Structure 1
Amino acid sequence: MDLVVWVDDWQMQCCGDPFSVGSRVSWKLGPPDLDWLATVLGPVQVDRAEDHHDLFTADTPATEAVVRAISAVRCAYAPKPGEDLPGLYPVRGSGVLTPVERADGREKDQGDKRFSGYLVRLSTVERS
């Protein structure tokens, strides 16, 4: 079964293990933040999100899979229009995908687009 998985930049930068196209991975997967992803990328299919900081339940089993494709995701950030809240938020529809062969969480920003994470296509491996 193929899955599209979101991997946050901060998860990789904190303590993620680098991976490449063709790598075999064992990841805990849970529900992605579809609202955030839709804001950044528009309509996109993302099946799961990767986590290794116990954001999902502790008994979430690891999914064994092979990495088939990786795209670095970058987007613009700005204050929310009409709000006085501090902080920056993703600009609707500003996301861009750049295919990469390897992911280590250290992608460079491009102009006003900041690195936010990866979309990873996985093929799950059946356990015997």
Structure 2
Amino acid sequence: MLVYHCDTDGEDGVSIIELLDRKTGESIFWSHIPGFNLGQPIVVGEKSHVTTIGFVGKIDLLTGNYDWQYDDLYDHQIGSFNSFDSISIINDTVKFISEHYMTKTIDKVLVANKSGKLLQILK
């Protein structure tokens, strides 16, 4: 069973993805997802794409290790990438969408799914 959870004190936070044995409830692995504002993850096969404030990544669900990750995306000047609203995969491009909470404009991070190459940041 795959569980995503976060804990925050209102100032700082941590997010975690954990794989539990269905029969025993014991943890098989857990991985830290930097930050709070955990977005809705998606699972495709044995991989999960995850987001938090200023962070996007792809986790291997067999090992708990990241295939790739990008952090420090949060823009303190204009507030871009405070949280992510959706993730989509079209062909080999992963599109992470973030509605800017102040301006209601759409910010995007585009990553090549297989290689993990950062293709574009739009804000």
Q: Same fold (TM over 0.5)?
A: no
Task: Name the structure where helix makes up a greater proportion of residues.
Answer: 1
TM-score, normalised to structure 1's length? 0.21
The alignment's TM-score, normalised by the length of structure 2, stands at 0.22
